[in-house]
């Protein structure tokens, strides 16, 4: 029982001292009309935008 109490004390102390970090502020905001593109890189985003501008859709871009 003493070991369990010690483990719980250490666990709660760790939680208390770690704290919670603040979320980072977003430095930019994208906006538009008629579609959205999300991808892993800038070239993939450009290709998706190009596909939408040509009248394509998400299935065409994939």
**How confident is the model over 8-47, as pLDDT tens digits?**
999 888 888 777 777 777 777 777 777 788 888 888 888 8
7, part of any domain: no
The confidence band for 3, taking pLDDT boundaries of 50, 70 and 90, is very high
Count the residues in the chain.
62
46, part of any domain: yes
Instruction: Name the domain count of the chain.
Output: 1
26, part of any domain: no
20, part of any domain: no
4, part of any domain: no
Q: What is the dihedral of CA 14, 15, 19, 24, to 10 degrees?
A: 110
Query: What would the two tokens of residue 62 be?
Result: 């994939």
* pLDDT in the model for residue 61: 63
> For residue 57, what are the domain limits?
38-62
17, part of any domain: no
């Amino acid at each position: 029982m003493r070991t369990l109490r010690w483990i719980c004390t250490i666990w709660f102390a760790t939680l208390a001292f770690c704290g919670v970090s603040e979320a980072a502020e977003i430095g930019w905001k994208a906006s538009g009309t008629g579609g959205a593109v999300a991808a892993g890189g800038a070239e993939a985003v450009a290709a998706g935008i190009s596909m939408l501008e040509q009248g394509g859709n998400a299935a065409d871009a994939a």
